[in-house]
Structure formats: structure tokens, C-alpha cells
Structure 1
Amino acid sequence: MGLFSFVKNAGAKLFGKKEEEAPVEEKAVLKASALLEHVKALGLKYKNIKISLRGDDVVVEGDVEQQEDAERIVLAIGNVEGVDTVDNQMKVIAPEPKPEAQFHTVEKGEWLSKIAKKYYGDANKYNIIFEANQPMLDHPDKIYPGQVLRIPKIDS
């Protein structure tokens, strides 16, 4: 799926003193562990997963059944403060994978209906974007500048 860039200074504050003040040789392992726990806590689907870090860049490997599962994992990891890029090396094992979604970085003054109007031509389709980004989003009005959202392809 590739390499995805995120806004490093925006997102969920997942890393604490323990991760930030750890010795260099332990820092990557502690951050990878925290990211894995975050993915698990969100209940995201995967067959197997391995998360590793190179500085502020994350590599995620493993198997998922659907393309959307891989995309949600990438977004969950990337929308964490301190993560600069996510290199998605997960394999989709579904017999007929769905097309990849687009990604959109939220800008100041945007809301889901405005984004839906841009991508779908219909502001009332905001709920498609909301549902595509659950469980990372818990309310349609709770998005923030710098957050990256999944915009699934839909039939017109």
C-alpha cells in the first residue's frame, strides 16, 4: 500500500514520559508496543501484525482480510502525535480486495459535510466518511486540523 505522511505534531497523545525519556535502544520498542496496544484498544481487525519504528517513522507489517482494515490501522497509527510517516507493508488476503480509499488531511475550517461535498458532490454523505473512520472518530463533529481521514470510494 505504501508510505503515508502525517502531521507529526497533531493527533492523539499516546506517548508519555516512559516512552520519551527511555534510552535510545528502548524507545522504539516502547513506542511500537504503545502503538500496538492502541490498535488493539480500538478493536481494529488483523490476522497478524508487527509494528516497528525508525525514529518517528513507523513500519507496519502483517495480514488483514480487507483493504479497509489496513487503511484503518494506518490511520490509527498515523494520527498519533509524534508519528511522521507510516510505511504500510500489510498484505490483504481477501479473495477480492476492495479498491484503496483516498486520504484527506483536515484543514482549519473543514467539517465532514464540507469534505463529503468535495469528494462526493453531496454534503449529506458525510456519514460515509464518519463510518469509514470509526472507531478512531467517535463523533462527526470531532475532527481537527492535521488529522488524516479515510475517504472510501463509493458508487455514484
Structure 2
Amino acid sequence: MGLFDFVGNIGKKIFGKDEDPSKAVTNHIAEDNPGIENVSVTVEDGVAKISGDATSASALEKAILMAGNIAGVESVNVDAVKLANGEQLATEDEFYVIQKGDTLSAIAKKFYGNAAKYPAIVAANKEVIKDADKIFPGQKIRVPKVL
């Protein structure tokens, strides 16, 4: 399925030098589990390798974003994840990297022509956007094509 790149030096700080990054990222995904059974993550040299059984392509995309938006993770490898029902990871949703000065309403205006549709972006990213007022440059999110 592949390798997904992220900005490694920014993002949510969930582990320090003395903590086990693999355990911290696994626990982070398991807390808000988007639909990955038997999830396990190993983090080595900035690469988070996710394994488990995804209930859908959407669930896998959410897990990718959850792992990739962590400080210290530069890329996410999902080759060891099995997708249910032979689904493919190809999605109609678009990935977007938040830029300096962006707001969710500005992103909604750009993609949908209507700033008031930003709740659709928040809903699609509830695992990585806990507070609509707290997004940051370099954060990668999903922008749903279908509302």
C-alpha cells in the first residue's frame, strides 16, 4: 500500500527521549481507534510502521493521519495492514497540508466554495482535530469530496 510522508519535526508530542515511541504511537491510535483491529505500530528512524486489520480504507487513512501528525514521525508505512473485503486505499477524499494562516473555514471555502462547510472537515478528521481552533501548519488532514 505504501509509504506516506509527513513533516517530522512538528505535530503532537506524545513521546520523549526516554519513552518507547512504538508503544506511545500504538496507544495513541488505540485510544481513538478509527477501525484498526489488532493495531500495532513500530517507530524506527522516523518511520511509523502500522500493522493490523483495517475495517475500511477510511479507517486506515485516519490511522495514517493519526500516526503521521505526531512530532518525530516523518513517514508512515502501512504495508503490513490488511484491508477488509479486498478494499483498496484509493480514496475520493483529498489530503491537504495546513499552511501558515489557514483556518478550517478558509479551507472549506477553498474546496467547497462555502466557509460554513468546515464542520465536514472536522468530522472527517475527528481523530486528528480535537479542537477546530487548534490546527497547525504542516498538519495533514483529509478533505472529504462528498458532503
TM-score, normalized by the shorter chain, greater than 0.5: yes
TM-score range relative to shorter protein: 0.7 to 0.9
TM-score, normalising length from structure 1? 0.83
Alignment-mate amino acid for residue 2 of structure 2:
G
Alignment-mate amino acid for residue 107 of structure 2:
I
* Matched residue, 1:85: 75
Displacement of 1:116 in angstroms is 1.4
Instruction: Could you list the structure 1 runs, at least 4 aligned residues long, displaced by more than 3 angstroms after superposition.
Output: 94-99
- Give, in whole Å, the separation in 1 of the partners of 2:107 and 2:22: 32
TM-score, normalising length from structure 2? 0.87
Alignment-mate amino acid for residue 14 of structure 2:
L
Whichever of the two has the greater Rg, that structure is 1
1:111 counterpart = 2:103: yes
Deviation digits for residues 60-99 of structure 1, max 9, x if unmatched?
1221111111011111100100000011222321476785
1:145 counterpart = 2:137: yes
Alpha-carbon distance change, 98 to 83 in structure 1, aligned in 2, over 3 angstroms: closer
* Matched residue, 1:35: 25
- Give, in whole Å, the separation in 2 of the partners of 1:39 and 1:110: 26
- Mapped contact 1:99–1:153 kept (Cα < 8 A): no
- Give, in whole Å, the separation in 2 of the partners of 1:48 and 1:10: 27
CA RMSD of aligned residues (A): 2.0
Which sections of structure 2, spanning at least 5 residues, go unmatched? none
- Give, in whole Å, the separation in 2 of the partners of 1:99 and 1:65: 15
- Give, in whole Å, the separation in 2 of the partners of 1:3 and 1:71: 12
- Give, in whole Å, the separation in 2 of the partners of 1:35 and 1:92: 20
- Mapped contact 2:30–2:39 kept (Cα < 8 A): no
- 3-state SS in 1 of match to 2:26: helix
- Mapped contact 1:5–1:84 kept (Cα < 8 A): yes
